[in-house]
């Protein structure tokens, strides 16, 4: 079944996308902090934790909902990047 053919699947994809956006925001804020305090070991550790969390969320999103970016197309038999609503389109939300 296509992940966009049911309301629950769309909701799950939307929730994953929200979590991913929150983690990416935290990464950006942490990078800005590290720019000002590059020797902060706790901030660097937090940055690595966030990157790992982002990778896990991105993998989960792409396995359940389809590619988030053109780099996420992992199908060897077809080009899936254009087959579903793109992350910024209304139907994807």
Q: What is the pLDDT of residues 36-54, one digit of tens each?
A: 999 999 999 999 999 999 9
Contacts of 31 (CB under 8 A, 6+ apart): 47
Examine residue 30 and state whether it is found in any structural domain, yes or no: yes
Residue 57, domain member (yes or no): yes
Task: Report pTM.
Answer: 0.72
What's the chain's length in residues?
93
How many domains does the structure of the chain reveal? 1
Torsion angle, alpha carbons of 16, 56, 48, 18, to 10:
0
Cα distances (angstroms) measured from residue 8 to each of 3, 37, 41, 42? 9, 43, 41, 38
1 vs 21, higher pLDDT: 21
Containing structural domain, residue 70: 7-83
Residue with tokens 């780099």: 71
Task: Report d(CA 12, CA 93) in Å as an integer.
Answer: 10
Q: Residue 64 is encoded by which pair of tokens?
A: 């359940």
In a domain, 74, yes or no: yes
Q: What is the pLDDT of residue 1?
A: 42
53 part of a folded domain = yes
pLDDT band with cut points at 50, 70 and 90 for residue 2 = very low
pLDDT per position as a tens digit, 46-92: 999 999 999 999 999 988 888 887 776 666 666 666 666 776 776 65
- The CB density around residue 13, as the number of other CB atoms within 10 Å, is 22
């Amino acid at each position: 079944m296509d992940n966009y053919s049911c309301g629950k699947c769309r909701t799950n994809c939307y929730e994953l996308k929200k979590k991913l956006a929150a983690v990416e925001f935290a990464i950006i804020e942490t990078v800005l902090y590290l720019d000002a305090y590059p020797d902060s070991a706790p901030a660097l550790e937090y940055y690595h934790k966030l990157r790992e969390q982002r990778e896990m969320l991105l993998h989960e999103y792409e396995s359940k909902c389809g590619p988030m970016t053109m780099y996420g197309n992992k199908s060897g038999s077809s080009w899936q990047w254009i087959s579903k609503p793109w992350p910024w389109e209304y139907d994807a939300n």
